[in-house]
Chains A and B, each alone.
Chain A
Amino acid sequence: MNRLKLATVWLDGCSGCHMSLLDIDAAIIDVAGKADLVYGPLVDAQEFPEGVDVTLVEGAVSSQEDLKKLQKIRSRTRTLVALGDCAVTSNVSAMRNGLPVQKMLQSIYIEGVSAAKGVPTDGVPALLPQARPVREFVKVDLYLPGCPPPAKAILGVLGDLLAGRKPDSSAKLKFG
């Protein structure tokens, strides 16, 4: 049987969803037995590979870079899973959305600090006007809300996908 190509990606989120993924504990050995983790913060790969079977996307789309990355991922992924509230609803990432970007940066990096005032520009991607959920930009195949989604739920979905079943996340999950 072909081994599943699995990727994870971390956009505008806190990495909590990835922590929850690691929380599946020993079960990760089973997963590793059936799938190759080909890309993600846990893997040392520079370029998102072609022909990925499943990508778990954590975080909202908040910057130009997030958007480009997401579009590439979508074009190279068969099943895209929005992992966690930020990816599904934008969640905490969206709490900045009521403020115009410039004003927000101003209040954080200039008004909010006493020393080294200045909005960082080098090496940081331009922010989008608002942080918005993944589905507003690309097609999402499966939603796994939760802040973070419980490890069991992630494992359930991964288990289904690894076994070639259509995962059903709707019944067991909640926001927050």
Chain B
Amino acid sequence: MAQKKISIRIDGELVGATEGMTILEAAEGAGKEIPTLCHMDGLTAVGACRLCVVEVAGIGRLLPACTTPAQDGMSVTTVSAQLTRYRRMVIELLLVERNHVCSVCVSNGHCELQSLAKSLGVSSVRYPYNYPRLPVDLSHTRFVLDHNRCVLCTRCVRVCAEVEGAHVWEVTNRGIKCRITSEMNQPWGSASSCTNCGKCVQSCPTGALIEKGFAVEEMTKRHENISALALAKGARP
């Protein structure tokens, strides 16, 4: 099916896109980088982390680039003082929500939250830290779920449902009490629907889902492979 070509302006630059693309896709197609965290190519966009908010001319509020369709003639601003301030605040809020102790984290150096903090220039946090006491689920033979590092991006939930089709993960509770949970709140090790495929671990942007047997800084993830798989499968509805 031939798709209609459209053109939009991103930060003043005219960019070609296809109808049905999101602003994020259009921007990426043009080599422009918009920071994202919950987004992962191939999975349904949920617009949850709000890092990718952009300004669209003529619209009074900010819109997430990952879920907003690009429309012909649209003029989008992806970088501004306000956007940077807000994006920094998102990172600050995530850093205080849980216990992100980078120096002892197996994902240190390979963590998306960490690198976003760096690229957005977050050098400290203005809010009081929560320091919640959170469990670590070691019940799975190969993997670990460490709630201390979770940012609730729900990539694991989506990849498991949309690509693997196993529906092991869900989000339980609400608000600040939200937690990722496996199979009706069973320890991951006893989740009979889990196929041990590890897609969730590979999708996780931080050290929340990790493989056993790695020391600090050793855990690297391969999201690209998962994305490629997801795109090939056409998981995204």
- Interface residues, chain A, with chain B CB atoms under 8 Å away: 82, 85, 88-92, 94-95, 97-99, 130, 132-133, 135-136, 140, 143-145, 147, 169-171, 173-176
Are the C-beta atoms of B115 and A174 separated by less than 8 Å?
A: yes
Are the C-beta atoms of B95 and A170 separated by less than 8 Å?
A: no
Residues of A contacting B128 in the complex (Cβ-Cβ under 8 angstroms): 132, 136
Are the C-beta atoms of B123 and A173 separated by less than 8 Å?
A: yes
Are the C-beta atoms of B124 and A91 separated by less than 8 Å?
A: no
- Interface residues, chain B, with chain A CB atoms under 8 Å away: 95, 99-105, 108-109, 111, 114-115, 117-118, 121-126, 128-129, 131-134
Are the C-beta atoms of A91 and B101 separated by less than 8 Å?
A: yes
Residues of B contacting A94 in the complex (Cβ-Cβ under 8 angstroms): 99, 101, 129, 131
Given contacts A98-B131, A132-B129, A133-B129, contact A92 B104 (CB under 8 A): yes
A/B interface sample: 6 pairs, CB < 8 A: A85-B102, A92-B101, A130-B131, A147-B102, A176-B103, A176-B108
Residues of A contacting B129 in the complex (Cβ-Cβ under 8 angstroms): 89-90, 94, 97, 132-133
Residue from B99, B114, B133 within 8 A of A175 (CB atoms): B114
Which chain A residue shows the least CB distance to B102?
A: A176
Are the C-beta atoms of B109 and A169 separated by less than 8 Å?
A: no
Residues of A contacting B101 in the complex (Cβ-Cβ under 8 angstroms): 91-92, 94-95
Which chain A residue shows the least CB distance to B103?
A: A147
Which chain A residue shows the least CB distance to B108?
A: A176
Given contacts A94-B131, A98-B131, A176-B114, contact A88 B123 (CB under 8 A): yes
User: Once the chains are docked, how many angstroms separate the CA of A176 from the CA of B217?
Assistant: 10
Give the shortest distance, in Å, between B135 (CB) and chain A (any CB): 10
User: Once the chains are docked, how many angstroms separate the CA of A5 from the CA of B134?
Assistant: 44
Residues of A contacting B115 in the complex (Cβ-Cβ under 8 angstroms): 174
Residues of B contacting A82 in the complex (Cβ-Cβ under 8 angstroms): 124
Residues of A contacting B103 in the complex (Cβ-Cβ under 8 angstroms): 85, 91-92, 147, 176
Residues of B contacting A173 in the complex (Cβ-Cβ under 8 angstroms): 118, 123
Residue from A99, A132, A145 within 8 A of B133 (CB atoms): A99
User: Once the chains are docked, how many angstroms separate the CA of A147 from the CA of B114?
Assistant: 13
Give the shortest distance, in Å, between B36 (CB) and chain A (any CB): 19
Are the C-beta atoms of A97 and B131 separated by less than 8 Å?
A: yes
Residues of A contacting B102 in the complex (Cβ-Cβ under 8 angstroms): 85, 91, 147, 174-176
Are the C-beta atoms of B95 and A89 separated by less than 8 Å?
A: yes
Give the shortest distance, in Å, between B136 (CB) and chain A (any CB): 12
7 further A-B pairs in the complex, CB-CB below 8 A; given A133-B129, A145-B124, A176-B109: A89-B100, A92-B103, A94-B101, A95-B101, A174-B118, A175-B100, A176-B102
Residues of B contacting A97 in the complex (Cβ-Cβ under 8 angstroms): 129, 131
Residues of A contacting B122 in the complex (Cβ-Cβ under 8 angstroms): 170
Give the shortest distance, in Å, between A165 (CB) and chain B (any CB): 17
